[in-house]
Copies of this chain bind each other. A is one copy, B any other.
């Protein structure tokens, strides 16, 4: 799957509507027009190839309050199914994407970022410096991707099939095979 942008999974058959997605790029220079954002458009393109409907893309500076506001609006008002961030997860003093993500989430999903680091650690020991996280706000899954386009592509190839299943459970459109299909919630089940 690595390096391959066709990561279609069985969750997007003809009978089911596409999951909606938003992509938020965190970049001080990008937001000032001093640097081209290559990761955001790449993520959008990979998501669309995999059947997601990308309803919004944003380019924000590395400001925690601004990112938190955007994530809350995307989850609560736009009600997108999944938000991917790119950038702001490293050691630079301005990197605050994980902190903003954790602040708006009701429930964390630590295994997603762990899996990306575990996967990347096979490629480079610097993967241990990634501070990426992931979590759920209401009915929206928020996942931090790395900043570089190459790492975004690699990580999406690794996580996208499983995320599709997770979204199905979160939105009540998939049975929970892993736990004996116990839950059968419908989309927008009140919470």
Residue numbers of A with Cβ under 8 A of B are 27-30, 35, 38, 87, 90-96, 98-99, 107-115, 117-118, 121, 125-133, 136, 139, 141, 146-149, 151, 158-159, 161-163, 165-167, 169-170, 172, 176, 178-180, 182-183, 185, 189, 191
Instruction: Find the residue from A121, A132, A167 having the highest chain B CB count within 10 A.
Output: A121
Report the Cα distance A112→B117, complex, angstroms. 10
For A113, list chain B residues within 8 Å (CB). Answer: 110
Question: Most chain-B CB neighbours within 10 Å: which of A90, A96, A172?
Answer: A90
Contacts known (A91-B170, A93-B191, A117-B115); A178 close to B148, Cβ less than 8 A: yes
Known contacts being A126-B165, A162-B128, A170-B91, is A182 close to B27, with CB within 8 Å? yes
Q: In the assembled complex, which residues on chain B have CB atoms less than 8 Å from the CB atom of A147? A: 176, 178-180, 182
Residue of A27, A38, A92, A170 with most partner-chain B CB within 10 A: A92
- The residue in chain B whose Cβ has the minimal distance to the Cβ of A136 is B91
Interfacial chain B residues near A148, Cβ < 8 Å:
178-180
- In the complex, what residues of B have CB within 8 A of residue A189's CB? 93
List, sorted by A's number, 24 A–B pairs whose CB atoms are closer than 8 Å: A87-B179, A90-B178, A90-B183, A91-B109, A91-B136, A92-B170, A92-B183, A93-B170, A93-B185, A93-B189, A93-B191, A96-B107, A99-B107, A107-B131, A109-B129, A110-B133, A111-B128, A111-B129, A114-B118, A125-B161, A126-B165, A147-B179, A147-B180, A148-B180
Q: Which 10 A-B pairs have the closest CB atoms?
A: A147-B179, A115-B128, A91-B169, A92-B183, A125-B162, A111-B128, A93-B191, A91-B170, A129-B166, A91-B166
Task: Tell which of B121, B126, B136 touches A178, judged by Cβ atoms closer than 8 Å.
Answer: B126
CB contacts (< 8 Å) of A125 on chain B: these are: 115, 158-159, 161-162
